[in-house]
Chains A and B, each alone.
Chain A
Amino acid sequence: MSDNSASEHPVTEKFSPLHQIHLHGGASFTDFAGWQMPVSYGSDLTEHHAVRNAAGIFDISHMAEIGVTGPQAIEFLEYALAGKMSNLALMQAKYSLLLDEHAGIVDDLIVYHNAEGEYLVVANAGNHDVVVEELTARSKDFDVQVMDHSDATALIAVQGPRALEILQATEGLDVLEGQQSLIDLKYYWTTSATFSGDSVYVARTGYTGEDGFELYLDTSNAAMLWQALVTAGAPLGLIPAGLASRDTLRLEAGMPLYGHELGRDILPAQAGLGRAVHFTKEGDFVGRAAAETGPAEGARVLVGLTSEGRRAGRAGYSLVDGDTVVGEITSGALSPTLGHPIAMGFVDPKYSEPGTVLDIDVRGSKIPATVTALPFYKREKN
């Protein structure tokens, strides 16, 4: 047999600060943008269900963390990114896009406003170099410093309905006096904490469709914090989870993945991310003119697709109407939560209405699929 997901080996491999823990935990690894990251610790399905029903802990230290500081940090971010940054309150986070001059998506990222005049931009591992280069180049006319903290920063995500209880029960993890408590922390807000005396930046963000937190800290303390979180979480059902389950979780939640739903050849409006581009903000920003013009007439748009049975459409499979190719799948899997295949893909606009039935061309055989509004899965809020 052959595994179509196998990727080429990079010249140099990077290892997470938590690599030893993953080795001891029996993880199998995959190359992700040059990083050796856990793909699963045994069963990706078990990990997926743990996140939906209790909690999972993910090492996502491969993500890129880039600091932006200086008197003109806001002005710079307004120019460099597509989203409105000037109204980002202290300790608030925002999803945004880095566009090129043609309004193609260079990366999607989260901007954290972590102190007065200090912002943290978190980008995809695969786009680390290009984001650092672009931000640095775009900063030259501003009184601002762009600093790459990626190698010094570990990032641990605790995701699932029991994530809050787990963080609260974690020995040595304490929110700083005067900072927002974990229980009152809203989605896309952050708070400052310490772990054994070292600072931890805690964000209520994630990529799974569940409640959860992402914890940024210095690499040197990452292993201890991971162990403390696992110790506190294990009795509540927390297990380590790898990138395989992270992918099926984000797909169910309808969240785009760079290189699949997002890319240089895709404009925000095509990917349903028009809301991340703020035309009302003052002044120019990179990609503004092209984004205002918008995609060419007839440009394909992102949709969700569901089908029956167990055989899923996968990235690269054609979507057809009769014998005519009208789109292509960008991500697809048998949804562990829903029990049927789900996919995201780009289709000609006239096929984008929910309810439209298309066929997925699975290497010659056709599987009917119905266009569906995203997300496929939405957690029940209490």
Chain B
Amino acid sequence: MADKTDRKYTAEHEWLDIVGTTATIGITDFAADKLGDVVFVELPKVGATVQAGKVVGEIESTKSVGELFAPVNGTVTEANSAVVDKPELVNEDPFGGGWMIKLEVADASVFDAAEFMTFDAYSALVGE
């Protein structure tokens, strides 16, 4: 996967690692820290069609519930079963083993149209 400085970011504290028409999606270290220890992850089924802005998964910590949003319209091509079995991966390795899903879009231009943040813009947003 691309270095986290080369990924795209959303205001919902998700990252996207985009290769062609597919994006690997996870939550940022900032989001994982805010949630606390993650104890439960629920992800959409492979093959599911998702809509931008809609909730597609849940990430629960001991103290709160976070939601995974689809950043773009697309189809789920993979869901990370490792993170479902071992939710602590979200805290231990949010940019790596803690990834959530892979989404395929109809055309790569969808990613450009979504106007995601750069790493620097996202870092500024969360004050780091």
Of all chain B residues, the one with the shortest Cβ separation from A28 is: B33
Write out the residue numbers on chain B whose beta carbons fall within 8 Å of the beta carbon of A3.
13, 31, 34-35, 64, 66
B78 within 8 A of A: no
In contact, A310 and B67 (Cβ under 8 angstroms): no
Q: Which of A129-182 contact B (CB under 8 A)?
A: none
B36 within 8 A of A: yes
In contact, A44 and B59 (Cβ under 8 angstroms): no
Mask for A3-27, Cβ within 8 A of B = 1, else 0? 1111000000000000000000000
In contact, B64 and A5 (Cβ under 8 angstroms): yes
Query: Given the complex of chains A and B, what is the CA–CA distance between A263 and B58 in angstroms?
Result: 30
> Given that A28-B33, A28-B34, A314-B65 are contacting pairs, would A1 and B59 also be in contact in the complex, using a CB cutoff of 8 Å?
yes
In contact, A336 and B62 (Cβ under 8 angstroms): yes
Query: Given the complex of chains A and B, what is the CA–CA distance between A91 and B96 in angstroms?
Result: 55
B6 within 8 A of A: no
Q: Which of A1, A247, A314, A333 has the most CB of B within 10 A?
A: A1
> Given that A1-B12, A45-B62 are contacting pairs, would A40 and B36 also be in contact in the complex, using a CB cutoff of 8 Å?
yes
Write out the residue numbers on chain A whose beta carbons fall within 8 Å of the beta carbon of B35.
3
A39 within 8 A of B: yes
Write out the residue numbers on chain A whose beta carbons fall within 8 Å of the beta carbon of B39.
45, 310, 334
Write out the residue numbers on chain B whose beta carbons fall within 8 Å of the beta carbon of A186.
none
Report the count of interface residues on B (CB-CB < 8 A): 26
B91 within 8 A of A: yes
Query: Given the complex of chains A and B, what is the CA–CA distance between A333 and B40 in angstroms?
Result: 11
> Given that A1-B12, A1-B31, A39-B36 are contacting pairs, would A311 and B60 also be in contact in the complex, using a CB cutoff of 8 Å?
yes
Q: Which of B50-66 contact A (CB under 8 A)?
A: 58-66
Write out the residue numbers on chain B whose beta carbons fall within 8 Å of the beta carbon of A44.
36-37, 61-63
Of all chain A residues, the one with the shortest Cβ separation from B10 is: A1
In contact, A1 and B13 (Cβ under 8 angstroms): yes
Interface residues of A (CB under 8 A from B): 1-6, 28, 39-40, 43-46, 48, 244-245, 247-248, 310-312, 314, 333-334, 336
- List 11 contacting pairs A-B, 8 Å CB cutoff, sorted by A: A1-B27, A3-B66, A4-B65, A4-B66, A5-B64, A44-B63, A46-B37, A244-B63, A248-B62, A311-B58, A334-B62
Beyond the given pairs A5-B63, A248-B62, 11 more chain A to chain B contacts, judged by CB atoms under 8 angstroms and listed by A's residue number, are A2-B12, A4-B66, A28-B34, A40-B36, A43-B36, A44-B61, A44-B63, A245-B62, A247-B63, A310-B40, A334-B60
